[in-house]
């Protein structure tokens, strides 16, 4: 008996090319005075716009691949962007600040709060949510989890959230500075790392820029070397020179990494064989507007070597969590067979995956299995396999050998088949079913009970 040889190939790849979305690298920085100082030049030798030029030049980014960020003083009326307000904005509850046009028109959206948010008074408790404006760590965590969850629902956009701006010693006290340090540490080292027990896995389209710890000292306060003066916590030129390059480098590096995940990131595609059937399985890390997958195959062992569609698997639309798919080819070719996926977007555009193959597959052989159920009334199923393309005839006989009914009479490709049939007008008794091809014949008995 020739042993069955199975070779399984696994490919990891993505369906998307970088820089193809025209607004993917066009961003907006929604800030007020603190952000404006960091934007620069703020009497310094650099600025965020200058650092953007340097970044594009160093990466040879031109045209649609260039990064562009504009700054806007927003939200206004009233002039405030505390975390509670961002919570209301992303919930669509702030009538003076509609975030949707920014989400629609920009690929990168950067939000932040000014230094008043560092005036945290208490650790807090669940009851604090009844007073959303109360500045406690519990409320701040609640605000962040809420608007980041909304950001997660736009996985094709890239969001950046700044942590608090630190206050000078004259503008805060030890308790406030400590609590602000603790909150910002949680935001970067717990929430953004996917370790927050409430939020869980952190979305890949959100980046936490830890502005607080770029400037704050070990005491959680803004050192005077980075402040305009002892009573003004706005960052000075030294702060601009320190933070602006880091801001551009971190955000754009993270944005590029996010681009590589869109729109459909296929992280595994494999093929194997089980019980004379070909099993395809694949996994996506992220999906954007994924309508689904056509499954295509072809054999290199016959004259008919073109790709044929053998099935479809529905996609999951938009998702940023890993998803697994599978498909069974119940009627595989004998010999070497190639498979590929045709990933189709909701708008009809599509991309092909890499090709996987099964080599030296000799699992198919002539066989005729016992019908099931047996005894039966009035329906039963017969399974059979043919290792080559051939004409197949299956007939039903009585126990004396008289032909009663033809069940199958057609040319079929190599594969494994199921034949369902019904007999209601025959008497109870034993019958014989027989398969016949050009080079194979076999018979089995079945029992029909009324």
Contact 335, 415 (CB under 8 A): no
User: CA-to-CA distance for 200 and 248, rounded, in angstroms?
Assistant: 27
Strands (E), 216-264: 227-229, 232-235
Read off the pLDDT of each residue in 301-317 and give the average, rounded to a whole number.
81
| Token code pair at residue 268 | 């595994």
> What's the confidence (pLDDT) of residue 388?
78
Range 65-69, long-range pairs (CB < 8 A, 24+ positions): 65/18, 65/19, 65/25, 66/25, 67/25, 67/27, 67/252, 67/255, 68/25, 68/26, 68/27, 69/26, 69/27, 69/28, 69/29, 69/108, 69/110
Which domains are seen in the chain, by residue range?
Answer: 10-14+263-358 (2.60.40.10), 26-259 (3.40.50.1110), 367-448 (2.60.40.1930)
* Three-state secondary-structure class, residue 252: helix
Q: What are phi and psi of 115, to 5 degrees?
A: -65, -20
Residue bearing the bigger pLDDT, 13 or 388: 388
Whether a cis peptide bond, with omega within 30° of 0, leads into 297 is no
Q: What are phi and psi of 41, to 5 degrees?
A: -75, -20
Read off the pLDDT of each residue in 422-438 and give the average, rounded to a whole number.
91
User: CA-to-CA distance for 441 and 446, rounded, in angstroms?
Assistant: 17
> What's the confidence (pLDDT) of residue 6?
38
User: CA-to-CA distance for 286 and 115, rounded, in angstroms?
Assistant: 35
What DSSP designation does 136 have? B
> What's the confidence (pLDDT) of residue 370?
95
H or E stretch at 149: helix 137-152
Q: Is the pLDDT of residue 415 over 70?
A: yes
* Three-state secondary-structure class, residue 118: helix
Q: Is the pLDDT of residue 360 over 80?
A: no
Confidence of residue 7 (pLDDT cuts 50, 70, 90): very low
User: CA-to-CA distance for 290 and 343, rounded, in angstroms?
Assistant: 7
Residue bearing the bigger pLDDT, 354 or 226: 226
Nearest to 313 by CA among 338, 330, 296, 333: 296
pLDDT tens string 104-117: 999 999 999 988 89
Terminal C-alpha separation, the chain: 42
Q: Is the pLDDT of residue 16 over 50?
A: no
pLDDT tens string 157-215: 999 999 999 999 999 999 999 999 999 999 999 999 999 999 999 998 999 999 999 99
Residues 6+ apart with CB under 8 A from 210: 163, 184, 187, 188
Residues 6+ apart with CB under 8 A from 390: 411, 412, 414, 437, 438, 439
Sign of the Cα pseudo-torsion (168, 174, 176, 182, in order): positive
| Token code pair at residue 308 | 């044929």
Read off the pLDDT of each residue in 115-131 and give the average, rounded to a whole number.
95
> What's the confidence (pLDDT) of residue 423?
87
> What's the confidence (pLDDT) of residue 366?
83
* Three-state secondary-structure class, residue 30: strand
């Amino acid at each position: 008996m020739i042993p069955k040889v199975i070779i399984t190939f696994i490919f990891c790849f993505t369906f998307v090319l970088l820089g193809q979305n025209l607004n993917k690298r066009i961003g907006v920085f929604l800030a007020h005075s603190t952000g404006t100082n960091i934007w620069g030049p703020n009497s310094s030798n650099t600025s965020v716009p200058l650092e953007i030029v340097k970044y594009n030049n160093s990466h040879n980014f031109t045209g649609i691949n260039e990064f562009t960020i504009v700054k806007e003083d927003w939200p206004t009326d009233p002039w405030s962007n505390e975390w509670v307000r961002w919570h209301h904005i992303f919930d669509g509850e702030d009538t003076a600040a509609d975030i949707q046009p920014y989400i629609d028109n920009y690929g990168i959206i950067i939000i932040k709060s000014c230094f008043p948010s560092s005036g945290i008074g208490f650790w807090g408790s669940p009851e604090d949510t009844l007073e959303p404006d109360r500045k406690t760590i519990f409320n701040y965590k609640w605000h962040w989890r809420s608007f980041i969850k909304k950001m997660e629902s736009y996985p094709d956009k890239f969001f950046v959230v700044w942590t608090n701006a630190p206050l000078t010693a004259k503008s805060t006290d030890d308790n406030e500075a400590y609590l602000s340090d603790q909150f910002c540490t949680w935001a970067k080292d717990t929430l953004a790392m996917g370790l927050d027990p409430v939020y869980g896995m952190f979305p890949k389209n959100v980046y936490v820029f830890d502005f607080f710890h770029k400037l704050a000292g070990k005491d959680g306060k803004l050192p005077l070397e980075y402040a305009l003066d002892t009573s003004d916590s706005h960052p000075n030129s030294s702060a601009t020179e320190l933070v602006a390059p880091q801001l551009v480098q971190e955000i754009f590096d993270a944005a590029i990494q996010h681009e590589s995940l869109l729109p459909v990131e296929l992280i595994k595609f494999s093929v194997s064989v089980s019980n004379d059937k070909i099993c395809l399985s694949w996994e996506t890390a992220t999906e954007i507007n994924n309508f689904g997958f056509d499954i295509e195959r072809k054999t290199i062992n016959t004259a008919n070597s073109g790709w044929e569609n053998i099935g479809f698997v529905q996609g999951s639309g938009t998702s940023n969590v890993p998803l697994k798919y599978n498909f069974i080819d119940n009627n595989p070719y004998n010999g070497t067979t190639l498979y590929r996926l045709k990933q189709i977007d909701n708008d009809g555009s599509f991309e092909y995956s890499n090709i996987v193959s099964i080599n030296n597959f000799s699992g198919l052989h002539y066989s005729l299995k016992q019908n099931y159920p047996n005894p039966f009334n009035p329906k039963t199923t017969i399974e059979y396999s043919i290792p080559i393309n051939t004409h197949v005839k299956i007939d039903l006989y009585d126990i004396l050998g008289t032909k009663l009914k033809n069940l199958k009479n057609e040319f079929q490709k190599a594969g494994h088949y199921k034949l369902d049939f019904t007999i209601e007008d025959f008497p109870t008794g034993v019958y014989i079913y027989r398969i016949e091809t050009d080079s194979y014949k076999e018979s089995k008995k079945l029992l029909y009970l009324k």
